[in-house]
Amino acid sequence: AVFKAVHHSVPPSLSGRRPTKISVVGAGHVGMAIAQTILTQDLADVLALVDANPDKLRGEMLDLQHAAAFLPRTTILSSVDFSSTTGSDLCIVTAGARQIPGESRLNLIHRNVELFQKIIPTVAAKSPECILMIVSNPVDVLTFVAWKLSGFPPNRVIGSGTNLDSSRFRFLIADHLQVNAQDVQAYIIGEHGDSSVALWSSISVGGVALLSCLEKEEINYEKETLEKIHKAVVDSAYEVIDLKGYTSWAIGYSAASLARALLRDQRRIHPVSVMAKGMYGISGEVFLSLPAQLGRGGVLGVTNVHLTEEEAQRLRGSAETILEVQSHLEI
Ligand code: 6V0
């Protein structure tokens, strides 16, 4: 034996802790960025990876396992058949067909809905108590699809939504003002995509309301300048994809921040894709991003953030865009 026994039994206070298990479905660029962020941030005792490509999957698992000496202790498992995911606390779905040149967005949706029809019922059956986090695009529609296919209550199904867009927004504002992005409170809500809504009216930096501060100090700002920053957020994914072919690091950190809020019951507010029916005059069953409080029970509530009439109208427009796409689906 490597060690001489000191205690013959594990104290009950230690043996009682249930390990935290996270599964990541889809071991592509995004899935692996999420997996590695989860590992470095010590968010799970067990991490299960799933992918349809067995060689890539085993290669990724081994590559991460070989970092064990530099990381907090985490058991890393993998399986193509989802068997390794049994009993997960959180299942993060990043599997997704990629758009091929000339392919319509709607067509991509149909392919990913077909994929979800295979994946989601199995994931839900293996981990009936888990929280489902959808990352695959188009994320809002696929979160709705996952909610339908899983049979889970809506508080246990979220889409990574505009948590990432809001981080890009905070970065751009922080860069502009030369402050730390963590001191900038700013939300992008609505669709994770072209119809997203920037909540200019509620931006604050270190507790100072940005727009009213600019107005009070009679600093001229053009609406166009604000719109340009929002446009830069919307365009940033396209820019990164044009330059490096895919996005990965920021969505990795974004999803890990959500995992921490959920599994550690942090009760932090994140803009994520949640069931929005009944909010701000939205009447359809649609998932889109709103600032939501996240904890061990999933979505604990949605903050009653004040929207100007223009912002509320844009949000309803964003809901209409998603509902239009959903109306073409057969699930
Ligand atoms: P990728 O690198 O092609 O990875 C996709 C992975 O899914 C591949 O490894 C496939 O083998 C795997 N896969 C396919 N079918 C199955 C299946 N049935 N079961 C298990 N695995 C399967 O793509 P990438 O990782 O770059 O992107 C994945 C998805 O995330 C895409 O839909 C992106 O559009 C989406 N993103 C979403 C973001 C967000 O903010 N919500 C951000 C970035 C990307």
Q: d(Cα 66, Cα 69) in Å, to the nearest integer?
A: 8
Between the alpha carbon of residue 317 and those of residues 189, 260, 280, the distances in Å are 12, 31, 11
Protein residue closest via CA to atom 1 of ligand 1: 28
Name beta bridge partners: 210.
none
By the 8 A CB rule, do 77 and 9 touch?
no
- The arithmetic mean of pLDDT across residues 155-173, rounded, is 97
Token duo for residue 292 = 């939501």
**Which atom in ligand 1 lies closest to the alpha carbon of residue 164?**
40
- The number of the ligand 1 atom at minimal distance from the alpha carbon of 161 is 41
CA distance 22 to 5: 32
Cα 32 to middle of ligand 1, angstroms: 10
How many Å apart are CA 58 and CA 293, to the nearest integer? 36
Which ligand 1 atom lies nearest to the CA of residue 95? 7
Summarised one tens digit per residue, pLDDT across range 116-144 is 999 999 999 999 999 999 999 999 999 99
- What confidence category does residue 168 fall into, taking pLDDT thresholds of 50, 70 and 90? very high
The yes-or-no verdict on residue 260 having pLDDT over 60 is: yes
Give the pLDDT mean for 50-66: 98
Assess whether pLDDT exceeds 90 at residue 21.
yes
Most informative mutation of 60, 79, 84, 135 for ligand 1 (most atoms within 8 A of CB): 135
Between CA 101 and CA 328 the distance in angstroms is 22
3-state secondary structure of 142: helix
Q: How far is the CA of 320 from the centre of ligand 1 (A)?
A: 26
Residue 194 has pLDDT above 90, yes or no: no
pLDDT band at 201 (very low <50, low <70, confident <90, very high): confident
Q: Are 160 and 133 in contact (CB under 8 A)?
A: yes
- Mean residue pLDDT of the chain comes to 92
Residue 160 CB less than 6 A away from ligand 1: yes
Q: Could you read off the pLDDT of 306-331 as tens digits, one per residue?
A: 999 999 999 999 999 999 999 999 88
- The conformation of residue 33, written as its DSSP 8-state character, comes to H
CB of 95 within 6 A of ligand 1: the answer is yes
What is the rounded average pLDDT of the residues 30-38? Answer: 98
Q: Confirm or reject: Cβ of 291 under 6 Å from ligand 1.
A: no
- List the residue whose alpha carbon is closest to atom 3 of ligand 1: 28
CA of 77 to the centre of ligand 1 (A): 19
Take atom 30 of ligand 1 and give the residue whose Cα is closest: 136
Q: What is the pLDDT of residues 214-252, one digit of tens each?
A: 777 766 666 788 889 999 999 998 899 889 988 999 999
> The whole model's pTM is what?
0.95
Which pLDDT score, from 0 to 100, does residue 177 have? 87
Q: Which helix (H) or strand (E) holds 48?
A: strand 46-50
Q: Is 264 helix (H, G, I), strand (E, B) or coil?
A: coil
Residue 193 scores a pLDDT above 70: yes
Ligand 1 atom nearest to 57, measured from its CA: 9
Expressed in angstroms and rounded, the spacing between residue 297 Cα and the centre of ligand 1 is: 26
pLDDT of amino acid 11:
65
What whole-number distance in Å separates Cα of residue 268 and Cα of residue 246? 28
Is residue 208 scored above 60 in pLDDT?
yes
Residues annotated as catalytic are: 192
Q: What is the pLDDT, as a whole number, of residue 296?
A: 98
Closest protein CA for atom 27 of ligand 1: 30
At residue 101, does pLDDT exceed 60? no
> Which residue minimizes the CA distance to atom 14 of ligand 1?
95
The model's pLDDT over 264-311, given as tens digits with 9 standing for 90+, comes to: 999 999 999 999 999 999 999 999 999 999 999 999 999 999 999 999
